[in-house]
């Protein structure tokens, strides 16, 4: 029987990350693109937010 696929997005919660690692070792972990994009955009001047957001999304969706 094949194991069930699980996708977890713990949003950086250390306890949840550890629980997933220990209990669902076959689970896949994915970072939230919206949260990651906002975090990066907050580090640059507002005048380049749209350019930075587009670059982050392009990198995320790149085939490799």
> What pTM value is reported for the model?
0.55
DSSP 1-63: -PPPP-EE--TT-HHHHHHHHHH-TT-EE---HHHHHHHHHTTS-GGGHHHHHHHHHHHHH--
Domain locations in the chain as residue ranges: 1-30, 32-64
Q: What is the pLDDT of residue 53?
A: 93
Q: What is the pLDDT of residue 46?
A: 94
Closest C-alpha to 29, from 41, 14, 46 = 14
Structure tokens given for 48: 């380049």
Q: Which residue has the higher pLDDT, 59 or 25?
A: 59
17: how many CB neighbours lie within 10 A of its CB? 14
Structure tokens given for 54: 């587009």
């Amino acid at each position: 029987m094949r194991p069930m696929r699980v996708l977890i997005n713990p949003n950086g919660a250390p306890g949840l990350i550890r629980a997933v690692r220990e209990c669902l070792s076959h689970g896949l972990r994915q970072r939230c693109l919206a949260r990651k994009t906002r975090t990066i955009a907050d580090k640059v001047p507002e005048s380049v937010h749209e350019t930075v957001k587009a670059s982050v999304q392009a990198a995320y969706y790149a085939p490799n």
